[in-house]
Chain A
Amino acid sequence: MSYLVVTDAAKQFGPSFMALNGVSLSVERGEFFTLLGPSGCGKTTLLRAIAGFNDLTSGEITLDGSNLRVVPPHQRDIGMVFQDYAVFPHLSVFDNVAFGLKPRKVPAAQIKTRVTQALEAVRLGAMAERLPAAMSGGQQQRIGLARAMVINPRLLLMDEPLSNLDAKLRIELREEIRDIQKQVDIATIYVTHDQEEALAISDRICVMNSGKIEQIGTPQEIYGNPQTRFVAEFVGTLNIFQPGAALDAMLGKLGLAHAGAATWAVRPEHLDLAGPDSDGNGSATLPGTVSKYTYLGREAHVQVETPAGRLVVQLPNPGMAATREAGEAVSVLVPRTAPMSFSANGARMGG
């Protein structure tokens, strides 16, 4: 049996709003598991139910085989890292981290070594005696992390811990969180709405939408083989083809056909550009004109108006001279493996 098991979790707010609607998932020992979804999708509600701050309306949560729902939150032994850091402003950095060791009756000498170790791990060793009020957001969240880890919890929960930090720090700190988690080997559930963060940090990702699970899988599975249109659009970007004769001709040339496919889509990085009269070399071609060119340094986005709708083509390593002018005639190359099809209810079809 898995380490943490959530079965049929439901949470109702008010007379009719279902924040969670039949959510089941399992997390293994030592696994870094991410709940990913837009705001209001129920990911935080699920996390808080596991922490014990809100109970479920119905469903089961077991940790290591025992029912978690009957245990009051302060006896669950689950560490939590908060979006707003929740660092205690009236306690020094050291006392913040030592706070959870006191109710565990850890001897003073051991508190000292464990706190010092935890602070070294988050690179705050030199700041132990300072008050957190004047410290930066990144430093405060390191305190939060050390404080949650030092108690050797059975489970570590993180509720959008990086969302209040600036972009560069976010990447730096997420790498550290990943490294530390692997070192201490504590099963971790991480909540975020940032798909790139989820891909970078997770062993497995659970994509949620309006209280339900869309897909659970490794980052590669989630990005490379999305099982619903929602997942494909939320993780990464997606061009949706406009239905019509041009689309049908393209699919015919590629030999693709799925009965009942409501939507065809393609990721920008799977497309390429060729000259206006290219034959495509095994790929289908769509003639079109450039309507916008966006240079982003390591890549460039070319927006092309084609008979099958407006498509964005992502070009890697754009050279200085590769600029496309608006109005330029081009062909968009669509490889046979690139298009994805979805049924009317959003489920992925075929292969």
Chain B
Amino acid sequence: MAMPRFNFWTVVMILTWVLLFVLLFIPVGSVLISSLYDQSGNFTFANYLKFLGEPRFRQAFLNTLVVGFGGLFGALLLGSIMAFCVSRFAIRGGRFVSLLAILALVSPPFIGAYSWIVLFGAGGVVRGFLRDLGISMPPIYGVGGILIVFSLKFYPYVYLMVSGALSNVNRSLEEAAEGLGLTPLQRTFRISFPMVFPALTASGLLALIHAIADFGTPRLLGRGYNVLATEAFTLYSAEVGSNMSMATTISVVLIVVSMVFVLLQRYMSRRNVYHGNMINKPARIQLKGWRNVLAHFAVYFIGLCGALPVIISVIYSFRKTSGPVFQQGFALQSYERILFNLGDVVRNSLTFSFVAVALIVMIGTVVGVLVARRTNLNTALLDGAFMVPYVMPGIVIGIAFIAAFNTGPIVLTGTAAIIILSIFIRRLPYTVRTTASSLRQISPSMEEAAISLGYSPFQAFLRITVPLIVPGIIAGGMLSFVTAINELSSSLVLYVGSTMTMPVRIYLLILDGDFGVAAALSTILLLLSGCAVYIAFRFMGRNEQALL
């Protein structure tokens, strides 16, 4: 009786492994192999020795760690202040604050960096204004600027995870501590802090992982402050003397660094998770006087600074321009220019994202069912293999795809397919995992009930389980759409003129100094992302944590 199903799932299993081999192991393998051969094709460790030997690379490695840990601490500082205030004190407009955090989270990449340049760069608006007042401040370029941008960009991870953990701390625990004679300060450090510590470390490491994978921000703000991601791109894209084997060597190093922190992050987010019974939910205290003002100021200052790039780019997208130069007053010129000149870029982005998301949803769901329902050694291995894309910074996926599909049996360079597939493989694990975990939450007796009522196992799955997981799948698909349409770093390596996407175009426009059109394109991206997030929340309830 189980034979046809057995065959179906075996086929799925084999196809999944084929998929992983072609889209993941072969590209990553190509990177590894390429890093072990010199330009003329001889096996050598020279690239790694060069990496260790050359100050330029050693510096990039060090810089990567600096921005990673800097991003971690900045995000932890801002995020935990905000989380603590919002979940423990009565803050007016709490939902609006959460919205600001979401805005920072879904804002197009590196637009943050540019908006900060607009305000605090060499010719920055705020700097200019302050200079007129006689206050001189240094421009935002360099490591300081990168850290400010990272802190403001990644604090939502900490805020969302820690406020979730804080509102899960059973108030009875704090009351018990109070009964045992601990002062409020002792209570905070000895009871509340250990309870949210796992969330703090897990979210901090998440910020670190994103910080070391980020390409756009150090590229625009660094001004000579190079990290591994930018070095890999520079080596790959140099007009003269493009050094693929050195680029792949740096990619391997970046994978290893990233892998260490991803494993650490997963370890931290699994252990010490306290599940309180939620009988006694924590209450929010109404602060009085200057404390109240201070708490509100902190929350809104962080929220608005984080959302500032978005606000700036929306405003600038409506400013009147003459060529790339801004004029006084407002106009729709930037949008007109997109409509007449950049329609194909918008169309590309939409098509690529829709195709990638459709593939992710279809294949991810089936594989998720496989992983959740057919538990054996093979599916456990499969589940593990799906970890790999997590540790792959986008720029590395891009370089790996070039290394694998430039020559040989499958040539994909310059096609739309290669961009779609790079997005597909990076986001597929999320769908597999969310599908698997939502399946595990549905009691198996639900399907058994349907079977006992006369439905075949497949029918029971179709009529009971599928309707129950579809809202989650749609929501997950929408969130994948947000990442897909905002994807820059892998597309930047993979695009050619005809397959240019919106983030790539924005990046090039910013390099050309054409910020009006870049801002308008960003606004459109933001609008699309916002719609997708809205739809996702409609399907699964407002759940900011799902954005992480």
Contact = CB atoms under 8 A, between A and B. Distances in A.
Interface stretch (A60-68, A71-79, A261-269, A338-346): A71-79
9 contacts: A53-B448, A74-B454, A74-B460, A75-B454, A80-B448, A84-B443, A88-B464, A100-B453, A144-B449
A157 B449 CA distance: 11
A158 to B, nearest CB: 12
B449 A80 contact: yes
Interface string B440-474: 00010110111111111101100010011000000
Most buried by B among A86, A88, A103, A157: A86
Given A53-B448, A82-B445, A86-B446, A147 B453 contact: yes
B468 A90 contact: yes
A151 B448 contact: no
A51 B452 CA distance: 7
B135 interface: no
A148 B452 contact: yes
A79 B453 CA distance: 7
Nearest to A75: B454
A272 to B, nearest CB: 45
A84 B446 CA distance: 9
Nearest to A88: B464
B452 A73 contact: yes
B452 A90 contact: no
Interface string B225-256: 00000000000000000000000000000000
B469 to A, nearest CB: 11
A246 B452 CA distance: 58
A293 interface: no
Contacts of A100: 452-454
Q: Determine the main DSSP class of B at the interface with A.
A: helix
Contact of A51 (B448, B460, B468): B448
Given A73-B448, A86-B446, 11 more contacts: A51-B452, A73-B452, A74-B451, A74-B456, A80-B448, A86-B449, A88-B450, A88-B464, A147-B453, A148-B452, A151-B453
A104 interface: yes
B1 interface: yes
Nearest to B457: A74
A88 B454 contact: no
Given A74-B454, A74-B457, A151-B453, A89 B1 contact: no
A99 B452 contact: no
Contacts of B456: 72, 74
B467 to A, nearest CB: 5
Contacts of A88: 446, 449-450, 464
Nearest to A76: B452
A83 interface: yes
A104 B454 contact: yes
A53 B457 CA distance: 11
Interface of A: 51-53, 72-80, 82-84, 86, 88-90, 99-100, 103-104, 144, 147-148, 151, 157
B452 A74 contact: yes
Contacts of A77: 454
Interface size band for B: 10 to 19
Interface string B373-394: 0000000000000000000000
Contacts of B449: 80, 82, 86, 88, 144, 147
Contacts, number: 64
Contacts of B460: 74
Nearest to A83: B445
A86 B454 contact: no
A133 to B, nearest CB: 12
Contacts of A148: 452-453
Contact of A151 (B454, B457, B459, B464): B454
Contacts of B445: 82-84, 86
A13 to B, nearest CB: 15
A78 B450 contact: no
Contacts of B443: 84, 86
Given A72-B1, A88-B464, A99 B446 contact: no
B454 A103 contact: yes
Contacts of B464: 88
B452 A80 contact: yes
A343 B286 CA distance: 71
Contacts of B454: 74-75, 77, 100, 103-104, 151
B190 to A, nearest CB: 37
B256 to A, nearest CB: 39
Contacts of A157: 452
Contacts of B452: 51, 73-74, 76, 78-80, 100, 148, 157
Given A89-B468, A90-B468, A82 B453 contact: no
A304 B464 CA distance: 58
A148 B449 CA distance: 9
A138 B450 CA distance: 20
Nearest to B1: A72
A84 B442 CA distance: 11
B451 A99 contact: no
A99 B459 CA distance: 12
Interface in B164-212: none
A254 to B, nearest CB: 52
Contacts of B450: 88, 99
Contacts of A80: 448-449, 452
A16 to B, nearest CB: 20
Contacts of B468: 89-90
When A and B form their complex, which 5 residue pairs have the shortest distance between CB atoms, in order from nearest? A100-B453, A86-B445, A103-B454, A86-B449, A80-B452
Contacts of A52: 451
Contacts of A89: 468
A18 B15 CA distance: 37
Nearest to B448: A53
Given A80-B449, A82-B445, A74 B467 contact: no
Nearest to A51: B452
Interface in B41-73: none
Contacts of B448: 51, 53, 73, 80, 82, 86
A72 B452 CA distance: 10
A99 B453 CA distance: 7
A100 B453 CA distance: 5
Nearest to B471: A90
B112 to A, nearest CB: 41
B453 A73 contact: no
A297 B445 CA distance: 40
A247 B513 CA distance: 102
